[in-house]
Amino acid sequence: MKVMVLGAGALGGYFGARLQEAGHDVAYVARGEHLAAMQADGLRVESPLGDIRLPRVHAVADPREAGPADLVLFMVKTYDAEAAARSLKPVMRPETLVITAQNGVSAQPILAEAVGRSAVLPGAVYMPADIRAPGVIRHSAAFHRIVFGPWEAEAMPGARDIRTAFTSAGLDAQVSEDIWALLWQKFVMMAANSAITTLTRLDIGPIRETPETLDLLRRLVDETFQVARATHPSVGEDAAAKALDFLLREAPPTMHASMLDDLRRGKRLELPWLSGEVVRRGRALGIDTPAHEVVVGALMPYAQGNPAA
**Averaged over 27-36, what is the pLDDT?**
97
**Lowest mean pLDDT across 19-23, 102-106, 141-145:** 102-106
Task: Give the integer Cα–Cα distance in Å for 100 and 282.
Answer: 25
Residue 309 lies in a domain: no
Same domain, 138 and 185: no
Buried/exposed code over 223-241 (b: 16+ C-beta within 10 A; e: otherwise): bbbbbbbebbeebbeebbe
Same domain, 173 and 139: yes
Same domain, 35 and 153: yes
Residue 103 lies in a domain: yes
What is the tens place of the pLDDT at every residue in 54-113?
999 999 999 999 989 999 999 999 999 999 999 998 899 999 999 999 888 989 999 999
Same domain, 185 and 272: yes
Same domain, 13 and 126: yes
Number of domains in the chain: 2
Residue 308 lies in a domain: no
Same domain, 296 and 194: yes
Same domain, 228 and 114: no
Final residue of a structural domain among 132, 147, 177: 177
Same domain, 84 and 97: yes
Residue 16 lies in a domain: yes
The domain of 217 spans 180-302
Q: Answer yes or no: are the C-beta atoms of 11 and 5 closer than 8 Å.
A: no
> 153: pLDDT confidence band, cut at 50, 70 and 90?
confident
Same domain, 112 and 153: yes
Domain holding 102: CATH number?
A: 3.40.50.720
Same domain, 148 and 203: no
pLDDT at 305: 92
Same domain, 13 and 99: yes
Final residue of a structural domain among 177, 209, 235: 177
First-to-last alpha carbon distance for the chain, in angstroms, is 43
Domain holding 227: CATH number?
A: 1.10.1040.10
What is the tens place of the pLDDT at every residue in 200-251?
999 999 999 999 999 999 999 999 999 999 999 999 999 999 999 999 999 9
Residue 307 lies in a domain: no
What is the tens place of the pLDDT at every residue in 249-280?
999 899 999 999 999 999 999 999 999 999 99
Final residue of a structural domain among 177, 192, 211: 177
Same domain, 151 and 16: yes
Residue 205 lies in a domain: yes
Residue 131 lies in a domain: yes
